[in-house]
Chains A and B, each alone.
Chain A
Amino acid sequence: MDFSLNEEQEMLRKMARDFLTDQCPKSLVREMAKDERGYPPELWKNMAGLGWMGLAFPERYGGSGGSFLDLTVLLEEAGRACLPGPFFSTVVLGGLTILEAGNEEQKQELLTKVSKGELLFTLALTEPGASNESSTIAVKAIPDNNNYIINGTKLFVPDAHIADYIICVARTTEGISLFLVDAKSSGIESTVLKTIDGNKQCELIFTNVKVPKKEVLGELGHGWAAVEKVLERAKIAKCADMVGISQQALEMAVDYAKQRVQFGVPIGSFEVIQHYCADMAIDVDGSRFITYDAAWRLSEGISCAKEVAIAKAWVSEACQRVVSQAIHIFASIGMSEDHDMPLYFKRAKAAELAFGSSEPQHELVAQEIGL
């Protein structure tokens, strides 16, 4: 057992933190929340230059052959910096799905470009009035000569407005299948939803969208197995994001408690504030280990449905407690729009709600323990 990051991971973490401190200031985060595209292409290029997009892809696809655990380190730093943009959607929802389900040609062509930062991807999974269950997928793909014709509505598709390709989860006669849809295809109507933190999630309406048959990802009718794996990684990626959010919120609150003077003393000398901070620190540590334990299992290919549900359940709740407590320690100033705390408070809610909050994860855990 080893509860520490290895040397390369420590280096990666330090590099990411320095880079994001320099290139992703909070002014940029605020700007991007209001920006139509929601990400600065310049920053994206620089991230690609550091090898972030290809970190978890094999070298033969232009990646650096890192593990999902390595990627988790990066995702934690992204959360800590409130990094805006399509890193999660392109790498976790897009790239890892292609790596999981794609054929050799697709992997070679697409992942190489993702690694270089040349293509943006996303996954269209959720539908109106449905959670992420295979039985609820109603978007249909019907064969027509050399094409499939897709019809239906997807919701909460991250960064679909800027994506080059959308991996669409659709129902075919064989079952659930994945389609690699060119985002510029005619018949796709994309509307960016107004989210709590300005992250870009879209409604996608597919009206007779033609997709060439060769753009099926993986085997027809076998798409759901890939989706389940993507969901596990996506949940842990969101956990890593929340670990970064929590860590930063804790540090900000502790620093403030040391400096803020009331009744002639720093408020951090009051036992009640000390205990708030201690509770936050316990939550941050627990969140980190339960997340990295699941990330390690995913990296090692050990089945971990239970561990993933446990992590998403716990970290979602713990992160909410931490950001709420932190904002409370700052009091009113922590709610000011030009303060950094609201960025974390908002991002925490978006991450909590992504791929199921604590409550539905509890039901998955209940099933895993045989109830």
Chain B
Amino acid sequence: MDFQFTKEQEQFRKEIDDFLEREIQKDTFQVKVDAWVTERSKEFSKKVAQKGWIGMTWPKDYGGQGRSYIDRLILTEEMLRYGAPTADYWIGDRQIGPALIAYGSEEQKGEFLPRIIKGEISFALGMSEPEAGCDLASLTTLAVAEDDEYIINGQKVWTSGAADAEYIYLVLRTNPNVPRHRGISEFIIDLKTPGIDVRPLESMTGSREWTEVFFSDCRVPKTCLVGKVDQGWYQIASQLDYERAGIERLMANYPLSVNIIKYAKETKLDGKKLSDEPWVRYKLADLTIKFEVGRLLIYRVAWVLSEGKVPNIEAAIAKAFGTKFEAELANTATLICGPYGQLMPDSKWAPLNGWAASSYLWSPGYSVQGGTTEILKNVLAMRGLGLPRS
């Protein structure tokens, strides 16, 4: 075992930090929590793209840098540490590009990869449906082939970013007459296609990032199909491992972590520093301990990827652990702030820019997105430990 970063990796981390410090000074962005989901900035995406940091693990033949997954983890770790506005390019970089490289046609690769790498386009993820949540394979939104087209009818829900993105990645039923896992296909379609109606849903966070997406006789060319028809389920499996595997499952609200420690040191209650309270010391130490454990579990995933393996069980472990930490961080921050912990970002007297309260409202979602903790534990128990199917 060796937990050392190479000199090059340390230098790379510093290069990222310098870049982000400069961009903050230039007012390109302000540090925010949950920014990888909520903060979109084409301007910022393009700057990251100019550094060659989007699609950096992809093969050079496709315009990538062929760099390691550890490098990408260092990059994403720093982006999250600084709460940078990465939402616009995150999904394309994380999973659409890799999915296209694995299953896309040469035309699709040529059409999308260069634009993802340049930070020009953004993707929404159309997976869940009203009747297909954890049981994704029960999805019913239908794509029927007719001549050179597919005609799509149905509804997606909890679709992140469909109001802002240019494209939507979709998992659709292409054959309702076969066992359900064998009739699913993947598509990427332009969100401006007629027959698509996107309706933002306001979540309790106040964000309108989630949407419902309705399809009524939406006609798309057959070239929108990704990979093989009816084979989508088997293609998705490894894509979900990418979706689950990253450090956004540990550090979504990381700026809160640093700042709550600072707050405890600087804030007095009844004339006594919060950081002198035994329970505050215990809770902050506890967060530090859990963060370090989670960080190793997530670096392990990147190491598995860098060994050329699919991190199925390892990703499930990392996400189950990491999202629990994120929720605990948000909750602990509200407790340490006391009554101030309920104050929202624009309120007078709100400590830490109101991050404690806003992150707390996001926190039930951490363990839901990209596979609920229960589904992850099923994966771990059955595939990892070999327990029998229920």
- State the CA gap A142–B70 with chains docked (Å): 57
Q: Which of A3, A5, A278, A285 is the most central at the interface, judged by chain B CB atoms within 10 Å of its CB? A: A278
Given known A-B contacts A285-B297, A286-B297, A362-B281, A1 and B386 have beta carbons under 8 A apart: no
Decide if A350 is an interface residue (CB 8 Å cutoff).
no
Decide if A2 is an interface residue (CB 8 Å cutoff).
yes
Given known A-B contacts A1-B4, A1-B5, A366-B285, A269 and B320 have beta carbons under 8 A apart: no
Decide if B24 is an interface residue (CB 8 Å cutoff).
no
Q: What is the number of residues of chain A that contact chain B, defined by CB distance less than 8 Å?
A: 46
Q: Name the CB-closest residue of B to A302.
A: B4
Decide if A363 is an interface residue (CB 8 Å cutoff).
yes
Q: Name the CB-closest residue of B to A300.
A: B4
B317:A362 contact, CB within 8 angstroms: no
- State the CA gap A30–B284 with chains docked (Å): 41
Residues from chain B with Cβ under 8 Å of A369 in the complex: 261, 284-285, 288
Proximity string of chain B (235-267) to chain A, C-beta cutoff 8 Å, 1 when within and 0 when not: 000000000000000000000000001001100
A296:B2 contact, CB within 8 angstroms: yes
A286:B381 contact, CB within 8 angstroms: no
Q: Which of B1, B261, B387, B390 is the most central at the interface, judged by chain A CB atoms within 10 Å of its CB? A: B1
- State the CA gap A85–B338 with chains docked (Å): 50
- State the CA gap A313–B292 with chains docked (Å): 12
Q: Name the CB-closest residue of A to B300.
A: A3
Proximity string of chain B (45-84) to chain A, C-beta cutoff 8 Å, 1 when within and 0 when not: 0000000000000000000000000100000000000000
Q: Chain A interface mostly helix, strand, loop or mixed?
A: helix
Residues from chain A with Cβ under 8 Å of B2 in the complex: 1-2, 296
Decide if B218 is an interface residue (CB 8 Å cutoff).
no
- Among A218-270, those with CB < 8 Å from B are 254, 257-258, 265-266, 268-270
Q: Name the CB-closest residue of A to B303.
A: A3
Decide if A8 is an interface residue (CB 8 Å cutoff).
no
A4:B1 contact, CB within 8 angstroms: yes
Decide if A365 is an interface residue (CB 8 Å cutoff).
yes
Given known A-B contacts A3-B303, A275-B374, A369-B288, A281 and B297 have beta carbons under 8 A apart: no
Output the least CB separation between B66 and chain A (Å): 18
Q: What is the number of residues of chain B that contact chain A, defined by CB distance less than 8 Å?
A: 46
Binds B, one of A14-22, A120-128, A287-295: A287-295
A281:B385 contact, CB within 8 angstroms: yes
A2:B1 contact, CB within 8 angstroms: yes
Q: Name the CB-closest residue of B to A73.
A: B1
A307:B378 contact, CB within 8 angstroms: no
Decide if A331 is an interface residue (CB 8 Å cutoff).
no
Q: Name the CB-closest residue of A to B5.
A: A1
Output the least CB separation between B311 and chain A (Å): 11
Given known A-B contacts A2-B2, A2-B303, A371-B261, A310 and B288 have beta carbons under 8 A apart: yes
- State the CA gap A292–B303 with chains docked (Å): 15
How many contacts between A and B, using CB within 8 angstroms?
A: 138
A365:B377 contact, CB within 8 angstroms: no
A371:B275 contact, CB within 8 angstroms: yes
Decide if B384 is an interface residue (CB 8 Å cutoff).
yes
Given known A-B contacts A282-B320, A282-B380, A258 and B300 have beta carbons under 8 A apart: no
Decide if B26 is an interface residue (CB 8 Å cutoff).
no
Decide if A274 is an interface residue (CB 8 Å cutoff).
yes
Decide if B271 is an interface residue (CB 8 Å cutoff).
no
Residues from chain A with Cβ under 8 Å of B378 in the complex: 271, 274-275, 278
- State the CA gap A182–B5 with chains docked (Å): 46
B300:A289 contact, CB within 8 angstroms: yes
Residues from chain A with Cβ under 8 Å of B374 in the complex: 271, 275
B281:A277 contact, CB within 8 angstroms: no
Residues from chain A with Cβ under 8 Å of B3 in the complex: 1, 292-293, 296-297
B317:A282 contact, CB within 8 angstroms: yes
A371:B385 contact, CB within 8 angstroms: no
Decide if B131 is an interface residue (CB 8 Å cutoff).
no
Given known A-B contacts A1-B4, A370-B265, A371-B275, A289 and B296 have beta carbons under 8 A apart: yes
- State the CA gap A1–B302 with chains docked (Å): 10
B4:A274 contact, CB within 8 angstroms: no
Given known A-B contacts A2-B2, A362-B281, A290 and B70 have beta carbons under 8 A apart: no
Proximity string of chain A (62-83) to chain B, C-beta cutoff 8 Å, 1 when within and 0 when not: 0000000100000000000000
Output the least CB separation between B381 and chain A (Å): 3
Proximity string of chain B (293-331) to chain A, C-beta cutoff 8 Å, 1 when within and 0 when not: 110110110111000000000000100110000000000
Residues from chain A with Cβ under 8 Å of B280 in the complex: 371
A258:B1 contact, CB within 8 angstroms: no
Decide if B102 is an interface residue (CB 8 Å cutoff).
no
Report which A residues bind B (CB closer than 8 A): 1-6, 69, 254, 257-258, 265-266, 268-271, 273-275, 277-279, 281-282, 285-286, 289-290, 292-293, 295-297, 300, 307, 310, 313-314, 359, 362-363, 365-366, 369-371
Given contacts A292-B1, A293-B296, A371-B275, 11 further A-B contacts (CB under 8 A): A3-B299, A254-B387, A271-B378, A274-B385, A278-B385, A279-B377, A281-B317, A285-B317, A310-B289, A366-B282, A369-B284
- Can you give 16 contacting A-B residue pairs, CB < 8 Å? A1-B3, A1-B302, A3-B299, A3-B300, A4-B1, A257-B387, A268-B387, A270-B390, A278-B381, A281-B317, A289-B293, A293-B296, A310-B292, A366-B285, A369-B261, A370-B261
